[in-house]
Amino acid sequence: MSNSAQIGVTGLAVMGRNLARNFARNGYTVALHNRTASRTHELVEQFGDEGDFIATETAKEFVAALERPRRLMVMVKAGEPTDAVIQEFAPLLEPGDMIIDGGNAHFADTRRRERELREQGIHFVGTGISGGEEGALHGPSIMPGGSQESYGSLGPMLEKISAKAEDGAPCVTHVGPDGAGHFVKMVHNGIEYADMQLIGEAYQLLRDVAGYSPARIAEIFRTWNTGRLDSYLIEITAEVLAHVDEATGEPFVDVVQDRAEQKGTGRWTVQIALDLGVPVSGIAEAVFARSLSGHAGLREASRGLAGPRATPLGESEAAAFADRVEQALYASKIVSYTQGFHEIAAGGEEYGWDIDLGAVASIWRGGCIIRAAFLDRIRAAYDARPDLPSLLSDETFAQEIAAAQDDWRAVLAAAVHQGVPTPGFAAALAYYDALRAERLPAALTQAQRDYFGAHTYRRTDREGSFHTLWGGDRSQVEA
């Protein structure tokens, strides 16, 4: 078999198949492999006219079809299936070859795999890919990790198949060593969870407090999408809310059970943030909201609890309220991205990755689920100040939050008064207020810890660590 393929893809479910087609459409010869060979041949039969494919049935044939250095992209389920594929193909490769994992792997697994394969001279490139099946075919946002050497060989190919931002820049960058790419993809998905929760809360407020129908709310979201909230998620929200169910004639959103599922990356984002000591309260509330939605028995048993029921506003009041909801949504969205970028920065510091936050914002401008117009401004903020401690420290974002906060607070007050749950909006505002507070109750918390556990505390008037001998003797001891 001729070793003429520039890249190979193994695992030809929807994402793998579409990435293979994307490479072929962009002029690359693509070797194909799947555990079930019939899927390989079906791809060639259906899409063989889109470019050059080499169908293979065995691992040896697949590897033999690749030119050196071999670039082998794995598109199978994360976890044990990925390890199984690596164990199958690694013995067939030579030093300098590379295995690219395009699945939603946990970054710790990616670090382990990269370390093990590096000892064999094989490059392992953990690569976050966002955009779903359409993005995979037409241009995703791509977040590769791995060695700089591997990116020198693989990068130009990824840049060619990636989404392009409005300025023509490819939505791909070398994120950093070993697990950096999958770490950034994990946080991307965490921000996505938060974004979707905030949009859901805005919808619920417009439905229950403003009294608008789904079709009316769809028009509001379309209007918002022409301004600073311009984004993929706002765009599809309008489409979903405008959709009518064919079977019942009811708004589609009303025939969908209110139980949101999750695949795990949002949960990972929160778990790792806890390990890093980074507050991502907005992302956490989004994860918990999905969890709560699935506890049908608990919710059913609790529906009789006391509390207010929302009473729709009058028409003129509703219109003004909708404008305030837009302000609250935008301000909360800024906080979610602030928390996500804080986690990326902390992860980079913890694992020695030196991640360029401006470049991350840049590659999220197209192709991915959270693509949004204001990512251009996030990129500009980090490009101007790479050491920016927080997006809220950027003058422009700080001014926008200042302008939005009265409406933000009014929306939350209305939600509490009317009994509409808004955990995402509330967590975002609490985070903002905690950052700007002169003093936090953490002083009392630390004093309590010293009382019951001799955990010590630091004083405001002198250096050092102290412990008070609680009980009859209140003397202080320097620890």
* Active site members: 185, 192
Identify whether the C-beta of residue 154 lies closer than 8 Å to the C-beta of residue 98.
Answer: yes
Q: What is the 3-state secondary structure (H, E, C) of 198-223?
A: HHHHHHHHHHHCCCCCHHHHHHHHHH
